[in-house]
Chains A and B, each alone.
Chain A
Amino acid sequence: MATADSRVRDPVVGGNSVGKTFAGGTVVALENASFDIEKGSFVSLVGPSGCGKSTLLRLIAGLIEPTSGSLQVHGSKVSAPRQDVAMMFQRATLLEWRTAIENVLLPTEIQRRVTADDRNRAMELLQLVGLGEFAFSFPAQLSGGMQQRVALARLLQTGADVLLMDEPFGALDEFTRERLNIELLRIVGEVGATTIFVTHNIAEAIFLADKVYVMTPRPGRLAQVIDVPLARPRELAVQTSPEFNRLVEDARETLGAL
């Protein structure tokens, strides 16, 4: 039902009837997904497990290849991981033998020789996520929330302008998650990146995004696009507004009508 949306003015990420099957075609993870994501926008992918949201994210990251259709980032076809796209995972996936700052520098180290500028940038990013004082701590010395902040700084260190986040705060407690979500909005707003955020939490999806793609399982497909006209910057209190609740109801209806 959801098709390429013509209203998008400046698409950064685009998909054209993207499909992905696993196990020799027997499992349809994603079917006929077409979409265009506007530059600098925040998009949430929401749906129950098995709806293909993580698959879609991995396709955009170039970690897996589509079985049918094609994907573009900045107008060029995605065929492998690329430097203008970076991904953050549910687990912080830090290297325990590296300090926070060394973990942040990992993307740079993989790409080239680290310069003094890179090091300064990494330190600025750690300060941006509020961990300036913990630059030389090892992951084991940090809480789960702090580890995810380091992962966020590492994500930004890549310099990519398309950020893919696969339930990045899903393993954290409710309070930490809400706080980090607010900070995430501030930070991606500051760096002006295009963000695609996967979650199974409808309220979280709507709170964060400019546009929510509601996905349904078996086979995984984009079932509905919801525009979120709520003003920014957003406070947690917006979640009690009638407008917010109408949007949540709207998404629930789509998911309930499976």
Chain B
Amino acid sequence: MSAPFGQLQWLRACYRALPHLGLFALLIAAWEVLVRTGVIASIMVPRPSSIGASIVELYFVKGTIWRHFFITLGEAVGGFLIGAAIAVALAIGSSLWEPFRRYVSPYAVVLNVTPGIALTPIIIAWFGFGMGSKMALAAIISFFPIFVNTLTGLTQPDTEREELFRSLGSSERQVFWMLRVPSALPLMFAGFKIGLTTALIGAVVAEFAQATEGVGVLMSRFSFQLNMGASIATLLSMTLIGLILFYSMEFLDDRTVFWRREERRAAASRNRARAWKRYAKLNSKSGSSI
């Protein structure tokens, strides 16, 4: 119904993107010229065209990067899941039981102020050269933001609504699941977004330190060979992983905490109306058949 309107919006979006694309093209062209004319030594900074050539070779012709790409992606996601599971469990425990929080939080703080990256050699000694050590480091450095955000979310005071639940004769369990958890979700997702990004840092740093596979290994190998074009082409794969992770979490956030955005609310509203009618229909049928 809104096809002409939709097209117009597309045109507008393209129009708005034009200056950005122009600036980007200009920067790349200037870079290319500076290296070609010898102002910048090409052995230190590769020409954009040679990065482009490396991208074509690594990603499309030989496809060598993909194996490493998925290994690093897996390490980051695996580490994040482990870190998030522990962080959420400890945060729930801390929110429900004050003494538990008192005992746990000093360790959480110590873990946070110690640079997580500095644990790399120890982690590698413990977990070996494989994916295990990468996931462990990713888990450790993604733990804290998730822990803090979840705990803050779960312990936000909401006196009036707690009183409402109490006046309705609810159990503690009901208050937790029906009030506290949904109220905490926005903050929890903020923590997940930070945690997932830091998990990638953990995985890559551990790969730089000691590993046989992953984009970190590939990149340090190319750097040692002074193959700067391939090195930067590999770096861009990390950017790609980061973008994939960030937007996946953004997507989950948008669907889970749907009540914050008008668009999602409207969609949820329609879905629930449909579900309600389905239920009513089903019930009236079974009612009449009896």
Contacts and interface: CB of A to CB of B under 8 A. Distances in A.
Given A99-B269, A136-B272, A138-B268, A119 B279 contact: yes
Interface residues of B, number: 29
B169 A82 contact: yes
Contacts of A95: 161, 178-179, 182
Contact of B259 (A86, A96, A116): A96
A110 B174 contact: yes
Contact of B283 (A80, A107, A116): A116
A96 B174 CA distance: 17
B113 interface: no
Interface in B228-274: 258-259, 262, 265-266, 268-270, 272-273
B167 A86 contact: yes
Interface string A98-122: 0101100011011100001001000
Given A63-B163, A96-B259, A116-B283, A110 B168 contact: yes
A97 B264 CA distance: 11
A119 to B, nearest CB: 7
Contact of A141 (B160, B161, B170, B269): B269
B167 A99 contact: no
A159 B270 CA distance: 29
A136 B167 contact: no
Contact of B161 (A62, A93, A99, A111): A93
A97 B272 CA distance: 12
A147 interface: no
Per DSSP, chain A at the interface is: loop
B164 interface: yes
B74 to A, nearest CB: 33
B165 interface: yes
Interface residues on chain A, size class: 20 to 34
Contacts of A63: 163, 166-167
Interface string B160-204: 110111111110001000110010000000000000000000000
A102 B279 CA distance: 14
Interface in A26-83: 61-63, 80-83
Contact of B269 (A62, A96, A136): A136
B273 A136 contact: yes
Contacts of A110: 165, 168-170, 174, 178
B126 interface: no
Contacts of B165: 110
Contacts of B161: 93, 95
A61 B276 CA distance: 33
A184 B126 CA distance: 69
Given A95-B179, A141-B269, 16 more contacts: A61-B167, A80-B169, A81-B167, A82-B169, A83-B169, A89-B163, A99-B269, A102-B272, A109-B178, A110-B165, A111-B168, A119-B276, A136-B272, A136-B273, A138-B269, A158-B168
13 contacts: A63-B167, A85-B167, A89-B160, A91-B160, A95-B161, A96-B259, A102-B272, A110-B178, A116-B280, A116-B287, A119-B276, A136-B272, A140-B265
Interface of B: 160-161, 163-170, 174, 178-179, 182, 258-259, 262, 265-266, 268-270, 272-273, 276, 279-280, 283, 287
